[in-house]
């Protein structure tokens, strides 16, 4: 029987006194910066390069784990792994914090940094860059412990957590979940339109022809039926971000000094995406979507039949409680002919907090293996996660029934999944781009007008953040 997932007593104090004391640090830049302040107000010291590799059986004792808020089936799977771990290492006591207050790992992590009270093991994410300096380098463990290998995981997500900190890249975590943007479609709507289901090598022009036959646009957004939802945004799991890349476009130069949405490739990509909304009416504008009368999850809106496709991660497949009343399948996003394929990837990983904070790094390494090794990954897969461990997800497509194209996700993960180019301040610099892009989609301005406003504003942010 699984042990209860316990909240550590020192976490309880953090939620009260330490949380209150740490809010000042959270609200200030020091709370999440690389040189975050300790609770004494002095700058944190140099970050050690990593914990030492295991030397025989680690000493047992308490371990504090900080995680994301997770769905109940996944929490139960992890509780079982904790119970198994404590049996395998008598004397080990795992205190698991799934983050209840505040209800977000990024906020809780920042508060703990400000308070100088850190866990032994923590989850992090491909977008939580400010957390990375607080994680130990796991390279020495990987070199010595052959029971867990980089080759066990999809290379795109494993390498995403090999990050440059100082002069040497540091493997800050072993990945748990990984997601890439794909396209779901309603098979009944495709068949009714007399169309063949899309193949993985379909092009961006094929997509337009395909989608036009699935669209019944009306000026009244509450009556319209669009071919696709979430296909034109420039961030997250939208189809717009990968298609922007596929045109050869980027938002920023690699050195993070310039916003390059004025370049020909970017203009071409933005025009293609804008045409999906304003010319072809294949996808709704942001204003139309708000006025559509549709709400709830993507799966729920898909189930109404008013969207025939939607772009999202593979963990949003319409199964289980979100089942739709028709057959569906998934496919890779269309490609721009002659260009490099790309799909946006996101994921999370478990790592060990740097030496000086972690009390028992060797035992912490063993717990990471219990969570995201093959057996732990299989348990989490059964609970609903798409795991980064390749062998653990071999049978994942069978759980996505009635989808027959599920294995295309594996090809995406092995080859063309990627992260954003993220210079310092990239997230803040994207804000004016997204704001002005919304106005383009709503027909309020041209792409040229968007560039004239967003480019200098984004570059000002990059300069400020880069210093």
Nearest in space to 150 (alpha carbons), one of 174, 172, 134: 174
Q: Which residue has the higher pLDDT, 179 or 57?
A: 179
Give the DSSP letter string of 53-120. Answer: PP-SSPPP-EEEEE-----HHHHHHHHHHHHHHHHHSTT-EEEEE---SSS-HHHHHHHHHHHT---S
Q: Among the listed ranges 69-73, 171-175, 372-376, which one has the minimum average pLDDT value? A: 69-73
Nearest in space to 179 (alpha carbons), one of 33, 30, 379, 388: 388
Helix and strand numbers (H, E) in the chain are 17, 11
The rounded mean pLDDT for the chain is 87
Q: What is the pLDDT of residues 332-389, one digit of tens each?
A: 999 999 999 999 999 999 999 997 778 899 999 999 999 999 999 999 998 888 999 9
Mean pLDDT of 314-332: 86
Beta-ladder partners of 169:
164
The CATH homologous superfamily for domain 9-179+347-418 is Periplasmic binding protein-like II (3.40.190.10)
Give the DSSP letter string of 33-58. Answer: STT-B-TTSSBP-PPPS-PPPP-SSP
Residue 11, pLDDT score:
34
In angstroms, rounded to a whole number, what is the distance separating the alpha carbons of residues 255 and 426? 11
Mean pLDDT of 146-175: 93
Residue 320, pLDDT score:
67
Nearest in space to 74 (alpha carbons), one of 353, 378, 368, 282: 378
Mean pLDDT of 414-435: 94
- The residue assigned the tokens 């379909």 is 202
Secondary structure element (H or E) that encloses residue 439, with its range: helix 426-441
Q: Are 328 and 402 in contact (CB under 8 A)?
A: yes
Mean pLDDT of 404-409: 92
**What are the helix (H) ranges across 279-354?**
286-291, 298-303
What are the DSSP E strand ranges found in 215-354?
226-229, 307-313, 328-331, 343-352
In angstroms, rounded to a whole number, what is the distance separating the alpha carbons of residues 450 and 458? 12
Residue 23, pLDDT score:
29
The CATH homologous superfamily for domain 181-344+422-466 is Periplasmic binding protein-like II (3.40.190.10)
pTM metric for this prediction:
0.84
- For the chain, give every residue range classified as CATH 3.40.190.10: 9-179+347-418, 181-344+422-466
Residue 96 has pLDDT above 90, yes or no: yes
Nearest in space to 429 (alpha carbons), one of 458, 455, 454, 457: 458
Q: Which residue has the higher pLDDT, 398 or 256?
A: 256
In angstroms, rounded to a whole number, what is the distance separating the alpha carbons of residues 49 and 354? 8
């Amino acid at each position: 029987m699984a042990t209860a997932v316990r909240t550590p007593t020192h976490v309880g104090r953090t939620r009260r006194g330490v949380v209150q004391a740490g809010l000042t640090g959270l609200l200030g830049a020091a709370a999440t910066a690389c040189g975050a302040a300790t609770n004494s107000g002095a700058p944190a010291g140099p970050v050690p390069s990593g914990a030492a590799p295991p030397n025989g059986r680690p000493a047992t004792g308490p371990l504090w784990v900080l995680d994301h808020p997770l769905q109940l089936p996944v929490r139960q799977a992890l509780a079982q792994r904790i119970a198994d771990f404590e049996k395998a290492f008598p004397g080990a006591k795992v205190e698991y914090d799934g983050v209840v207050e505040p209800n977000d790992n990024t906020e809780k992590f920042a508060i703990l940094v400000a308070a100088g009270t850190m866990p032994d093991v923590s989850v992090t994410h491909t977008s939580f860059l400010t957390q990375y300096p607080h994680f130990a380098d796991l390279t020495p463990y990987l070199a010595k412990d052959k029971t867990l290998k980089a080759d066990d995981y999809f290379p795109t997500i494993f390498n995403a957590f090999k990050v440059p900190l100082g002069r040497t890249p540091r493997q800050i975590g072993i990945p748990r979940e990984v997601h890439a943007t794909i396209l779901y479609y309603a098979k009944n709507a495709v068949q009714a339109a007399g169309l063949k289901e899309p193949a993985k090598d379909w092009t961006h022009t094929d997509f337009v022809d395909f989608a036009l036959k699935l669209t019944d646009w009306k000026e009244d957004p509450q009556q319209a039926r669009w071919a696709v939802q979430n296909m034109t945004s420039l961030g997250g799991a939208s189809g717009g971000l990968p298609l922007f890349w596929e045109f050869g476009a980027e938002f920023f130069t690699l050195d993070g000094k310039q916003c390059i949405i004025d370049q020909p490739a970017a203009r071409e990509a933005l025009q293609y995406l804008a045409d999906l909304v304003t010319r072809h009416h294949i996808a709704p504008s942001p204003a139309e979507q708000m006025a559509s009368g549709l709400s709830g999850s993507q799966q729920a809106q898909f189930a109404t039949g008013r969207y025939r496709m939607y772009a999202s991660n593979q963990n949003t497949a319409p199964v289980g409680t979100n089942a739709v009343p028709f057959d569906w399948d998934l496919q890779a996003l269309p490609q721009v002919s002659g260009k490099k394929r790309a799909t946006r990837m996101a994921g999370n990983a478990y790592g060990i907090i740097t030496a000086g904070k972690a009390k028992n790094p060797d035992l912490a390494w063993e717990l990471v293996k219990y969570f995201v090794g093959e057996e732990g990954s299989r348990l989490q897969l059964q609970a609903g996660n798409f795991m980064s461990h390749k062998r653990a997800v071999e049978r994942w497509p069978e759980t996505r029934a009635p989808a027959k194209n599920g294995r295309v996700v594996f090809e995406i993960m092995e080859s063309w999944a990627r992260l954003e180019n993220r210079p310092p301040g990239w997230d803040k610099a994207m804000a004016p781009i997204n704001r002005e892009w919304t106005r383009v989609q709503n027909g309020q301005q041209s792409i040229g007008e968007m560039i004239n406003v967003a480019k200098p504003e984004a570059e000002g942010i990059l300069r400020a953040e880069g210093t």
